[in-house]
A and B are shown apart, each in its own frame.
Chain A
Amino acid sequence: MSDAARDTPTTVPPLSNEEATRLAAEVLDRVGQAVVGKRPALALVLAAVLAKGHVLIEDFPGLGKTLAARSFAQALGLDFARAQFTPDLLPADLTGSYVYDQRTSEFSFRPGPLFAGLLLADEINRTPPKTQAALLEAMQEGQVTVEGETHPLPRPFHVLATANPVEYEGTYPLPEAQLDRFLMRVDFGYPSADEEYDVVARRVARQREEVVVEPVTDAAGLAGLQAAVERVQVDESVGRYCVALAAATRGHAEALTGASPRGSLGLVLAARAWALVRGRDYVVPEDVKAVARAVLGHRVTVRPELWMTSASGPRIIDSVLASVPTPQTLERRDLQPQGAGPGPGQR
């Protein structure tokens, strides 16, 4: 991908709120044609992508994780790459490496799968920490450095990583600091009987294995959507509610460590994207509650003595959501002169 192509989305103007919501709904509909049911989980993944985040999908094999990632890439018009994370995968296998070109007698850079719009990092916990760190650094910095030379990744760049929650033998669980880099952790769960039959019926009717999703937009369109998310307003009381939720995880009786400030920031960003998906250009406390489990659940470490109980990150978040006060109903604003909208801090 050329540098010009990489820079294109940053110059794209934001879409209007109505257009962005319509586009998001269309993307979800298209992905829903391939992934049966699971609309709430798919909406969370889309919200994470719109908030410029990365998603960790932790679920059992065969639940459509790869299909969902590929479908999102197709619907959003992004380049798609899949990297199967195995114990012998090296950082250079992801980032790319310099190869000697005998014709020109020079080393030329051959980019790895990281240079894609949407990367599916399959079974991320099966590769050693060194390779995990290479991926996570790319996720955070948006660039990779090989042989002392820095290569910017295409924008938008998103990672959908998967992990199997039951098989731990021969795995390298992601440490908390690295889990924190994922904006959301989502699980799809098993489909209902009707949904499962729908999967079978669609496959039989399709008469072929692969599912092709028509693109709704492209990389520039996604950048426009992300720019629209940036304009979504967050009332101070809602922002403080997010901070209070993250802080409450730190003092929870079942938690060894709670969510970091990156958690509260992620909560606000994800809630903004969720609000846009729901057709609003302002965030309400319900948006925060809708994304809180996915955003904060993996950032909380359960006390070791409770590992054999039903205590878990999502359960701690549920408990926190059922105890932290939501913003007050009454928050008066001073009367503004005609034509002048109320500004921040004038309440």
Chain B
Amino acid sequence: MRRPAVVAALAVTGACVLVVLVAWAALLGPQEVFTGDGPQISRETTTTATDEAPVDTAGTTRDDIEQSDPPTWVRVLLNLVGGAVQLFALAGMAYVAWLVVRRVRTALALRRTREEAATGDFEALDDRQRVAAAMAQDADAQARALRQGEPRNAIVECWHRFELQAERAGLARREWETSSELALRMLDVAEVDRGAVTRLLELYREARFSEHEVGEPQRQAALDALARIRVRSGVAS
């Protein structure tokens, strides 16, 4: 991903430089670009005899015609177009510069994050505390939800409250994530009973996606798993 970005940045920069050069050439006109102060050429010319010399009938020479100024409106138009091209080119260069700066800042921030993750335990500790706090805050409501109503809906609601707790702790379930992917992420940062979480997840899946009969035994199993999770994570029951 990095290489195409560099290639694209270089291509845009090159294109901007080309546009600036073209704009410069357009403003100066072909006279200055092609016949201005270029390398000194030899003044010695070879003459060839011709039978008929050109006759200047109108009283003007070829150089007079080429050096005559264009009309004012053409010059104004050319200046406007040239100015606009220059502005676009400057804007393009500024955009490229902004992209480069943003990329560098992102790379630095990523590196800093990785270094912190590799060296510091404080972040993980914070996550653990946040998850524990979110669970503690919602513990009673979660247990109440599991005890109330039809067992299938109660188990689904119980797991849903887990997801809400995770969200509160900064570990929100991404919409493309499955429940087990979220559970794995939670297990990575939080100190919870893995077996109990797995059991609750199994019960949730059965309640949510199967046509099995889900009754009081499953509710009791979910209550047991929830109790184990709360004990291990330090939430008072």
A322–B176 touching, CB < 8 Å: yes
Judged by a CB distance under 8 angstroms, whether A289 is at the interface is yes
Judged by a CB distance under 8 angstroms, whether A331 is at the interface is yes
* 9-residue interface stretch from A21-29, A129-137, A258-266, A280-288: A280-288
Residues of B within 8 Å of A325, CB to CB, are 175-176
Judged by a CB distance under 8 angstroms, whether B123 is at the interface is no
Judged by a CB distance under 8 angstroms, whether A83 is at the interface is no
Judged by a CB distance under 8 angstroms, whether B179 is at the interface is yes
Judged by a CB distance under 8 angstroms, whether A291 is at the interface is no
Complex Cα gap A340–B61 (Å)? 108
Residues of A within 8 Å of B156, CB to CB, are 329-332
B159–A341 touching, CB < 8 Å: no
Complex Cα gap A324–B177 (Å)? 9
Secondary structure of the B side of the interface? Answer: helix
* 9-residue interface stretch from B51-59, B70-78, B209-217: B209-217
CB-CB nearest in chain B for A329: B160
CB-CB nearest in chain A for B1: A310
Residues of B within 8 Å of A324, CB to CB, are 176
B177–A282 touching, CB < 8 Å: no
Judged by a CB distance under 8 angstroms, whether A206 is at the interface is no
Complex Cα gap A238–B153 (Å)? 18
Complex Cα gap A32–B62 (Å)? 92
Residues of B within 8 Å of A283, CB to CB, are 209
Residues of A within 8 Å of B209, CB to CB, are 233, 235, 237-238, 282-284, 327
Residues of A within 8 Å of B160, CB to CB, are 329-330
Report which of B157, B159, B178, B212 forms a contact with A285, defined as CB distance below 8 A: B178
B196-237 contact mask (Cβ, 8 Å, vs A): 1 or 0: 000000000110111111000000000000000000000000
Complex Cα gap A284–B160 (Å)? 16
Report which of A237, A281, A285, A286 forms a contact with B210, defined as CB distance below 8 A: A281
B176–A282 touching, CB < 8 Å: no
B99-118 contact mask (Cβ, 8 Å, vs A): 1 or 0: 00000000000000000000
CB-CB nearest in chain A for B207: A333
CB-CB nearest in chain B for A326: B178
Chain A interface bracket (under 10, 10 to 19, 20 to 34, 35 or more): 20 to 34
Report which of B159, B176, B211 forms a contact with A342, defined as CB distance below 8 A: B211
**Nearest CB on B from A233, distance (A):** 5
Count of A-B residue pairs with CB < 8 Å: 68
**Nearest CB on A from B171, distance (A):** 14
Judged by a CB distance under 8 angstroms, whether A321 is at the interface is yes
CB-CB nearest in chain B for A285: B178
CB-CB nearest in chain B for A233: B211
Residues of B within 8 Å of A327, CB to CB, are 208-209
**Nearest CB on A from B67, distance (A):** 49
Secondary structure of the A side of the interface? Answer: loop
A331–B176 touching, CB < 8 Å: no
Judged by a CB distance under 8 angstroms, whether A323 is at the interface is yes
Complex Cα gap A89–B209 (Å)? 48
Report which of A233, A326, A331, A332 forms a contact with B175, defined as CB distance below 8 A: A326
A282–B206 touching, CB < 8 Å: yes
Complex Cα gap A327–B149 (Å)? 23
Judged by a CB distance under 8 angstroms, whether B188 is at the interface is no
A217-253 at interface with B (beta carbon < 8 Å): 233, 235, 237-238
Judged by a CB distance under 8 angstroms, whether B148 is at the interface is no
Complex Cα gap A284–B180 (Å)? 10
CB-CB nearest in chain B for A340: B213
Judged by a CB distance under 8 angstroms, whether B128 is at the interface is no
**Nearest CB on A from B161, distance (A):** 10
A321–B176 touching, CB < 8 Å: yes
Complex Cα gap A298–B112 (Å)? 39
Complex Cα gap A203–B10 (Å)? 55
B210–A282 touching, CB < 8 Å: yes
**Nearest CB on B from A246, distance (A):** 15
Judged by a CB distance under 8 angstroms, whether A204 is at the interface is no
Complex Cα gap A93–B149 (Å)? 66
**Nearest CB on B from A35, distance (A):** 28
Complex Cα gap A326–B175 (Å)? 6
Report which of B150, B159, B206 forms a contact with A335, defined as CB distance below 8 A: B150
Judged by a CB distance under 8 angstroms, whether B130 is at the interface is no
**Nearest CB on B from A285, distance (A):** 5
B205–A284 touching, CB < 8 Å: yes
Check A329/B179 contact, CB under 8 A, given A284-B205, A335-B150.
yes
Complex Cα gap A341–B210 (Å)? 11
B146-187 at interface with A (beta carbon < 8 Å): 149-150, 152-153, 156-157, 159-160, 163, 173, 175-181
Report which of B176, B205, B206 forms a contact with A326, defined as CB distance below 8 A: B176
* A-B contacts besides A329-B160, A341-B213, 14 pairs, CB < 8 Å: A280-B205, A280-B210, A285-B179, A286-B178, A309-B4, A323-B176, A327-B208, A329-B159, A330-B156, A335-B149, A341-B211, A341-B212, A342-B152, A343-B211
Q: Shortest 9 CB-CB distances between A and B: which pairs? A: A282-B210, A325-B175, A285-B178, A235-B209, A335-B150, A329-B160, A284-B205, A326-B178, A286-B178
